[in-house]
């Protein structure tokens, strides 16, 4: 039996594909969970066939023939009753033990795990690598090395969420005021740096992680990470072996958390450990003010482009402001760059100028536009450097 | 010709049964007759079932397409109200308050329940509670999910307080009915009816009452605390006020897990009756079934933590709850095996009631077996809060309870109305209902195992095909339930008159007239035989000699 189960889960692991029942196995835990599942599955199938077979057989064979039918005087049998009370109990205990062992494996992370902080809030996930000082904004994917244990320490800023990666078979509630933990070690083959998931054009834009205006956007998380690593290695003459391959895995929120619950998605991007090290270095080194693609014709950084990067990738502003139910940035300034007047909950009208926007970033609850009184509280970015605020305001002005 | 039946029936039966003993709307509204109260419950419950069912259709309509149709805000309210109506207004009272109220005193050989006026009060408390939920529905609605999880429910702007007040009030109806039934079973059994001669449906109602009496106060307190938190800003569950959101989940499931047995134990009771009467066999293992009923009621109180494996409760607690949860599987397996063994060497009628009974066994077996990977720690981590769970509890709650309720309605329809429904229509609709039911919920197991989370109004396109099968089948299932309602209502006027004992039942409700007279029995009936001693049973002369 065990050999059979092992065979099933290995066959699945080698194919890198999901089966009829389960998604691809992409973590060390997945194989263990799946063999527990298949044990329960086959026991259930056998019992279902026995029970329903007996039921149908009796119903057909002893179908009423006439009013003169006689029936057997059977009131029970202690022997039979004991058999069907005790025999399944052993199987149940086996299920419990298998599930318990795997569960113990899943709750004890190895001591040398890479720690990543995960913050859930309505309605996005953001990440922080505390040992490297790296922030990953809500629009970006979490990047992890293949074959190394990764531990997520998670907390919520508002209501309860739940972090779920089906390919890894991990899930854990993310609760306010309290840290919860899950860990995984990824396995499985990495593929060429193409976005290979979620390219279906029927998919809602928000699920693809796109801005609401960009109809041609495909999910580029895997591709973006691969290109980021490749170009950094090239510029800094770092040796890099072969193409940068990635694995992309879907993340869901599975605890109902309000309106955009079904859009509270994220991705895990898996890199080879050597590529991951380059990614870490690149992330630590990176400054959008030096990034060539954001330089203007005069050789100085184009602040609106830098601002666009900061808003999307560093601070994760677009996690909310990219959605139509949230305050929209393209109505803040008119064509000439003049700030527009907006009605506040206090009843005052305030012109959207640099001071107002700077205050709204650093102390979001100070003035609230009446129209958006109910969309939830924005986190405060009191520590945002002045030059970043300037860049973001320039980006806002460039939006029409 | 066509008019003669009604006039003849009218003159013949004037004053002879509970339906026509008193006339006028007031004679119903202030009745203390358990039979009329049971019928009123049934009508009220079925009305809400229709409302909850339409909301279910709306849920499935939204999910036909991965893109939003109604949008998040509307969808969240639809699935919340679907769940809240189905759980609090339909499933909890479905069998005990309607069928139970009608049948329990008759089966015991009693004139009524122990406290007839309290029984009427329970009904009006139920109506009052339901009005609060209707008020919620027509004002600001509710978007918390039927589970009211904090801190979301402490913060949302929807009408949480009126919904909680409704659920709070409904709880009292449940408590009082439970109390009434327990006293009735203890005090009002006919002479000769010992505990071991009680029909198993009575055992089931007794165990149900026990749970209602002990668990419902906990949810009342919990909902009350949540109302307090919202009204006065006292921090109990909301961490922003210093509360603990997981505490709410413990309180909530301490009630809401036992309450699934409030829903399903009466269903078990119904099946124990119909599987015997319609196969003309004594139940296989009477004592084992009665004992496992009580065992499930007891063990059901100490498994609530299996809803919290991922919530951050201690891992040790998780392991203990997982182990005890498997303990529920044993008595459940005993029951299922016993029902199937009862068919052996019987004379099985292939009528509508028996078909629904067999349908129940099929559906409940699937529901029970798919509970196993959810009780197992490691696999529950993967399946928790996905469509696998949705499919599992719809198989158990909706399939199990609803199929048993339909079984019960068919079995006691002649007793309640004095009319026979069309067997041909019944059997035809059954096959349609059974197939569409399974096609609605079986695909949800697959997409759940693949990772489709619950309570999503938009989803990844890989799940589309499963959602579509499920949605189209659910529309078919909805239609077949309308079919059931149609031929039953049709029989009220046009059905054949029922003989006094159409199924040849030997439990005491069949000893009196059909429909029963106002005071159930002429004089005090005496219980002579067991509830499953059918005349067809061929007693082995050798066994008798012992």
Q: Is A292 on the interface with B (CB under 8 A)?
A: no
Segment of A86-90, A358-362, B100-104, B538-542 carrying the highest mean pLDDT: B100-104
Residue B376 contacts residue A34 (beta carbons within 8 Å): no
Chain B interface, best mutation among A18, A38, A59, A67, by max B CB count within 10 A: A59
* Beta-strand pair A149-156/A114-121: parallel
Closest CB to B369: pick one of A48, A63, A203.
A48
Query: pLDDT grade, residue A198 (50/70/90)?
Result: very low
Quick check: A385 pLDDT over 50?
Answer: yes
Residues A48 and A145 in one domain: no
- Does residue B355 contact residue B427 with C-beta atoms inside 8 Å? yes
Among residues A250, A265, A285, the one where a domain terminates is A285
* Token couple for A174: 């993310």
Q: How confident is the model at residue B542 (pLDDT cuts 50, 70, 90)?
A: low
Q: What is the mean pLDDT of residues A258-271?
A: 89
CB burial class (10 A; 0-12, 13-18, 19+) of residue A11? exposed
Identify the band that residue A355 occupies on the pLDDT scale cut at 50, 70 and 90: confident
Asked whether the beta carbons of residue A102 and residue B537 sit closer than 8 angstroms, the reply is: no
Question: Smallest Cβ distance to B326: which of A47, A73, A92?
Answer: A92
Taking Cα atoms as reference points, which of A175, A37, A121, A116 lies closest to residue B313?
Answer: A175
Do the Cβ atoms of B531 and B196 come closer than 8 Å? no
What is the tens place of the pLDDT at every residue in A306-344? 888 888 777 878 777 877 778 888 888 888 878 888 888
CA A243 – CA B403 distance, rounded (Å): 58
* Residues A193, A261 within the same domain: yes
Model pLDDT, residue B3: 37
Domain-ending residue, one of A233, A264, A285:
A285
In a domain, A70, yes or no: no
User: Is the pLDDT assigned to residue A213 strictly greater than 50?
Assistant: no
Cβ neighbours of A58 in B, within 8 Å: 340, 343-344, 346, 348
Whether the per-residue pLDDT at B157 is higher than 90: the answer is no
Could you tell me if residue A303 is inside a domain? Answer: yes
A 10 A CB-CB count for A287 gives 9
Do both A371 and A325 map to the same domain?
A: yes
Considering CB atoms only, which of A51, A69, A88 is closest to B340? A51
CA distance B546 to chain A (A): 15
Cβ-defined contact of B536 to A71 (cutoff 8 Å) = yes
* Residue-level pLDDT at A288: 81
Element (H, E) at B295: helix B286-299
**Which residue(s) pair with A184 in the sheet?**
A150
Q: What is the CATH number of the domain that holds A175?
A: 2.60.40.420
Mean per-residue pLDDT for A114-133? 91
Q: What is the mean pLDDT of residues B232-255?
A: 90
The confidence band for A226, taking pLDDT boundaries of 50, 70 and 90, is confident
By Cβ distance, the residue of A36, A92, A258 closest to B329 is A92
In A, minimum Cα distance to B288 occurs at A81
Residue A374 is assigned to a structural domain of this protein: yes
Is the pLDDT reported for residue A120 higher than 50? yes
Portion of chain B with pLDDT greater than 90, in percent: 82
Q: Is A246 exposed, middle or buried (0-12, 13-18, 19+ CB in 10 A)?
A: buried
Lookup result for tokens 């109220």: B101
Nearest CA in chain A to B249: A160
Report the residue of B326, B377, B383 to disrupt the A interface, i.e. the one with the largest count of A CBs within 10 Å.
B377
> Please, which residues have CB within 8 angstroms of residue B233's CB and are 6 or more apart in sequence?
B241
Binning pLDDT at 50, 70 and 90, where does residue A192 land?
Answer: low
Residues of A in contact with B337 (CB under 8 A): 51, 84
pLDDT band, residue B8 (cuts 50/70/90): very low
Cite the beta strand spans of B78-190 per DSSP E: none
| Minimum-distance CB partner of B372 among A65, A95, A202 | A95
Residues A278 and A296 in one domain: no
* Interface contact B450, partner A, CB < 8 A: yes
Q: Mean pLDDT score of chain A, rounded to an integer?
A: 84
Residues within 8 A of A (CB atoms), B 348-387 only: 348-350, 354, 358, 361-362, 365-366, 369-370, 372-373, 375-382, 384-386
- % of chain A beyond a pLDDT of 90: 41
B residues 244..263 contacting A (CB < 8 A): 245-246
The chain B residue lying nearest A78, using CA atoms, is B285
Residue B5 has pLDDT above 90, yes or no: no
- Cβ-Cβ contacts under 8 Å for A327 (sequence gap 6 or more): A321, A369, A371, A372, A375
pLDDT (tens digit, 9 = 90+) per residue, B94-141? Answer: 999 999 999 999 999 999 999 999 999 999 999 999 999 999 988 888
A25-29, A134-138, A211-215, A237-241, range with greatest mean pLDDT: A25-29
Tell whether A200 lies on the interface with B, counting CB pairs under 8 A. yes
Mean pLDDT confidence for B69-91: 93
Q: Which pLDDT score, from 0 to 100, does residue A197 have?
A: 43
Query: Do residues A233 and A269 share a domain?
Result: yes
Instruction: Please check the confidence at residue A10 and state whether its pLDDT lies above 70.
Output: no
- Look at residue A276 and tell me if it is in a domain: yes
Q: Are residues A130 and A274 in the same domain?
A: yes
Contact B345/A23, CB-based, under 8 Å? no
Q: How confident is the model at residue A291 (pLDDT cuts 50, 70, 90)?
A: confident
Kindly identify which residue of chain A lies nearest to residue B76, measuring between CA atoms: A259
pLDDT at res. B4: 37
pLDDT in tens, B309-360: 999 899 999 999 999 999 999 999 999 999 999 999 999 999 999 999 999 9
CA distances from A307 to A146, A289, B402, B423, B544 (A): 32, 10, 58, 73, 94
Q: What's the CA gap between A313 and A220, in Å, rounded?
A: 13
Residue A255 lies in a domain: yes
Least confident range of A132-146, A211-225, A284-298, B8-22: A211-225
What is the mean predicted confidence (pLDDT) over B365-369?
A: 96
Mean pLDDT across the stretch B171-188?
96
Neighboring chain B residues of A79 at a CB cutoff of 8 Å: none
A66 domain residue, yes or no: no
**Residue A400: is its pLDDT beyond 80?**
no
Domain boundary among A285, A307, A326: A285
Give, in order, the Cα–Cα distances in Å from B428 to each of B359, B363, B431. 13, 18, 6
Residues A185 and A310 in one domain: no
Q: Taking the CB of residue A326, how many other CB atoms lie within 10 A of it?
A: 18
- Dig out the tokens for A64 from the structure: 């009423």
Residues of chain A with Cβ-Cβ distance to B143 below 8 Å are 258
Two tokens, residue A110: 């190895």
- What pLDDT is recorded for position A236? 87
Cα separation, A269 vs B34, in Å, equals 64
Of B73, B323, B376, the CB nearest to A40: B376
Confidence of residue B7 (pLDDT cuts 50, 70, 90): very low
Handedness of CA B154, B156, B157, B163 (dihedral sign): negative
pLDDT, mean of residues A167-186: 95
Question: Taking CB atoms and an 8 Å cutoff, what residues of chain A touch B446?
Answer: 20-21
**Is residue A63 in some structural domain?**
no
Do B166 and B130 meet the contact criterion of CB atoms below 8 Å apart? yes
Residue B445, pLDDT > 90, answer yes
B67 → closest Cβ in A48, A171, A202:
A202
- Is pLDDT at B14 greater than 70 in this prediction? no
| Domains of chain B with CATH codes | 25-518 (1.20.210.10)
Domain residues for the domain of A277 are: 114-285
- Tell me the C-alpha to C-alpha distance, in Å, between residue B198 and each of A84, B101, B187, B277, B291: 24, 16, 13, 15, 13
Task: Check: CB of residue B126 under 8 Å from CB of residue B541.
Answer: no
In a domain, A68, yes or no: no
Q: Tokens at residue B146, please?
A: 């039927």
Distance from CA of A9 to the nearest CA of B (A): 14
Residue written as token pair 């149940």? A92
Are residue A353 and residue A371 in the same domain, yes or no?
A: yes
Q: Does A76 touch chain B (CB under 8 A)?
A: yes
Q: Which residues of B touch A76 (CB under 8 A)?
A: 284-288, 338
Judging contacts by C-beta atoms under 8 Å, the chain A residues touching residue B379 are: 33, 36-37, 40, 99
Nearest-CA distance from A377 to chain B in Å? Answer: 12
- Mean local confidence (pLDDT), A185-208: 57
Q: For chain B, what is the mean pLDDT?
A: 92
- Cβ–Cβ gap A204/B66 under 8 Å: yes
* Predicted local distance difference test score (pLDDT) of residue A5: 54
Buried b / exposed e over B121-149, threshold 16 CB at 10 Å, is bbbebbeebbebbbebbeebbbbbbbbbb
Asked if B145 reaches chain A (Cβ–Cβ under 8 Å), the answer is yes
A33 vs B318, B338, B382: nearest CB: B382
The answer on pLDDT for B166 being more than 80 is yes
pLDDT band at A284 (very low <50, low <70, confident <90, very high): confident
Please tell me whether residues A132 and A264 are part of one structural domain.
yes
- Enumerate the residues of chain B whose CB falls inside 8 A of the CB of residue A40: 372-373, 376, 379
Tell whether the model's pLDDT for residue B6 goes beyond 60: no
Print the SS3 string covering B14-70: CCCCCCCCCCCHHHHHCCCCHHHHHHHHHHHHHHHHHHHHHHHHHHHHHCCCCCCCC
Percent of chain B with pLDDT over 70: 96
Q: pLDDT-based confidence at A209, cuts 50/70/90?
A: very low
CA angle B27, B33, B34 (to 5 degrees): 135
Q: Does B214 touch chain A (CB under 8 A)?
A: no
Phi and psi angles of residue B368, each rounded to the nearest 5 degrees, phi first:
-70, -45
Q: Comparing C-alpha atoms, which of B459, B462, B474 is closest to residue B63?
A: B459
Q: CA-CA distance, A197 to B451, in Å (whole number)?
A: 15
Distance separating alpha carbons of residues A119 and A161, to the nearest angstrom: 10
Mean pLDDT over B136-155 rounds to 89
Please check whether residue A261 touches B, CB under 8 A: yes
CATH of the domain at A383: 1.10.760.10
Q: Are residues A8 and A25 in the same domain?
A: yes
> CB under 8 Å to B343, separation ≥6 — which residues?
A55, A58, A59, A62, B275, B279, B281
Asked if A183 and A150 count as a contact pair (C-beta separation under 8 A), the reply is yes
A279 and A247 both lie in a single domain = yes
Q: Are both A255 and A338 inside the same structural domain? A: no
The total of structural domains in chain A comes to 3
């Amino acid at each position: 039996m065990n050999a059979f189960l092992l065979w099933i889960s290995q066959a699945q692991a080698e194919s890198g594909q999901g089966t009829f029942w389960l998604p691809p196995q992409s973590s060390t835990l997945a194989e263990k969970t799946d063999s527990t599942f298949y044990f329960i599955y086959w026991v259930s199938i056998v019992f279902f066939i026995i029970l329903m077979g007996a039921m149908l057989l009796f119903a057909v064979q002893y179908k009423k023939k006439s009013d003169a039918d006689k029936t057997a005087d059977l009131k029970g049998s202690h022997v039979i009753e004991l058999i069907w009370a005790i025999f399944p109990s052993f199987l149940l205990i086996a299920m419990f033990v298998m599930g318990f062992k795997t569960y113990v494996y899943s709750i004890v992370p190895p001591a040398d795990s890479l720690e990543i902080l995960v913050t859930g809030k309505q309605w996005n996930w953001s990440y922080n690598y505390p040992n490297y000082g790296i922030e990953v904004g809500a629009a970006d994917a979490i990047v992890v090395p293949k074959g190394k244990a990764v531990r997520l320490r998670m907390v919520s800023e508002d209501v309860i969420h739940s972090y779920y990666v089906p390919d890894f078979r991990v899930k854990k509630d993310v609760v306010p005021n309290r840290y919860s933990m899950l860990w995984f070690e990824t396995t499985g083959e990495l593929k060429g740096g193409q976005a290979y998931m979620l390219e279906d054009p029927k998919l809602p834009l928000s699920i693809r992680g796109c801005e609401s205006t960009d109809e041609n956007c495909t999910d580029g998380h895997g591709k973006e990470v691969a290109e980021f690593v490749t170009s950094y290695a090239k510029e800094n003459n770092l040796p890099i072996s072969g193409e940068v391959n990635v694995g992309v895995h879907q993340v869901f929120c599975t605890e109902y958390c309000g309106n955009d619950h079904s859009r509270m998605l994220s991705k895990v991007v898996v890199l080879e450990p050597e590529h991951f090290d380059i990614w870490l270095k690149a992330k630590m080194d990176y400054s959008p003010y030096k990034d060539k693609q954001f330089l203007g014709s005069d050789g100085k950084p184009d602040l609106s482009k830098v601002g666009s990067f900061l808003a999307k990738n560093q601070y994760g502003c677009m996690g909310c402001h990219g959605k139509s139910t949230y305050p929209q940035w393209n109505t803040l300034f008119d064509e000439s760059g003049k700030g527009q007047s907006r009605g506040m909950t206090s009843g005052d009208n305030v012109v959207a100028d640099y001071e107002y926007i700077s205050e709204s970033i650093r102390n979001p609850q100070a003035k609230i536009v009446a129209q958006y009184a109910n969309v939830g509280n924005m986190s405060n970015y009191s520590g945002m450097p002045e030059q970043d605020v300037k860049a973001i305001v320039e980006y806002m002005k460039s939006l029409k | 010709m066509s008019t003669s039946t009604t006039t003849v029936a009218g003159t013949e039966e004037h004053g002879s049964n509970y339906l026509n003993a008193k006339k006028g709307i007031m004679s119903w509204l202030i009745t203390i007759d358990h039979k009329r109260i049971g019928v009123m419950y049934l009508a009220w419950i079925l009305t809400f079932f229709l409302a909850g069912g339409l909301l279910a259709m709306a849920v499935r309509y939204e999910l036909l397409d991965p893109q939003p149709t109604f949008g998040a805000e509307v969808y969240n309210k639809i699935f919340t109200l679907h769940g809240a109506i189905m759980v609090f207004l339909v499933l909890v009272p479905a069998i005990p308050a309607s069928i139970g109220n009608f049948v329990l005193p008759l089966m015991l050989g009693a004139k009524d329940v122990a406290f007839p006026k309290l029984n009427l009060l329970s009904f009006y408390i139920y109506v009052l509670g339901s009005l609060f939920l209707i008020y919620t529905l027509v004002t600001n609605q509710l978007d918390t999910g039927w589970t009211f999880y904090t801190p979301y429910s402490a913060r949302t702007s929807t009408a949480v307080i009126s919904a909680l007040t409704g659920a709070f009030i409904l709880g009292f109806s449940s408590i009082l009915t439970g109390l009434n039934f327990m006293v009735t079973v203890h005090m009002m059994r006919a002479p000769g009816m010992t505990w071991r001669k009680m029909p198993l449906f009575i055992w089931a109602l007794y165990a149900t009452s026990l749970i209602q009496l002990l668990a419902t106060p906990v949810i009342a307190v919990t909902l009350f605390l949540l109302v307090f938190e919202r009204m006065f800003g006292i921090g109990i569950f909301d961490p922003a006020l210093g509360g603990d959101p997981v505490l709410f989940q413990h309180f909530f499931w301490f009630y809401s897990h036992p309450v699934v047995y409030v829903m399903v134990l009466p269903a078990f009771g119904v099946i124990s009756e119909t599987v015997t009467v319609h196969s003309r066999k004594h139940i296989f293992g009477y004592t084992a079934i009665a004992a496992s009923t009580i065992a499930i009621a007891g063990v059901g109180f100490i498994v609530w933590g299996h809803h919290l494996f991922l919530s951050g409760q201690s891992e040790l607690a998780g392991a203990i709850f997982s182990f005890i949860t498997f303990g529920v599987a044993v008595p459940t397996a005993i029951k299922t095996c016993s029902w199937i063994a009862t068919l052996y060497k019987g004379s099985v009628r292939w009528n509508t009631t028996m078909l629904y009974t067999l349908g129940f066994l099929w559906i409940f077996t699937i529901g029970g077996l798919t509970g196993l990977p959810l009780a197992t720690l490691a696999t529950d981590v993967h399946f928790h809060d996905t469509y696998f769970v949705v499919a599992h509890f719809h198989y158990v709650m909706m399939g199990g309870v609803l199929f048993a309720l339909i079984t019960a309605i068919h079995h006691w329809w002649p007793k309640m109305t004095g009319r026979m429904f069309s067997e041909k229509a019944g059997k035809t609709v059954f096959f349609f209902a059974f197939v569409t039911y399974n096609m609605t919920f079986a695909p949800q197991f697959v997409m759940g195992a693949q990772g489709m989370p619950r309570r999503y109004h938009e989803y990844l396109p890989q799940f589309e095909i499963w959602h579509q099968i499920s949605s189209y089948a659910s529309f078919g299932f909805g239609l077949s339930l309308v079919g059931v309602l149609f031929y039953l209502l049709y029989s009220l006027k046009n059905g054949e008159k029922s003989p006094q004992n159409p199924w040849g039942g030997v439990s005491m409700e069949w000893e009196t007239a059909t429909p029963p007279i106002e005071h159930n029995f002429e004089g005090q009936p005496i219980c002579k035989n067991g509830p499953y001693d059918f005349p067809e049973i061929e007693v082995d002369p050798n066994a008798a000699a012992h």
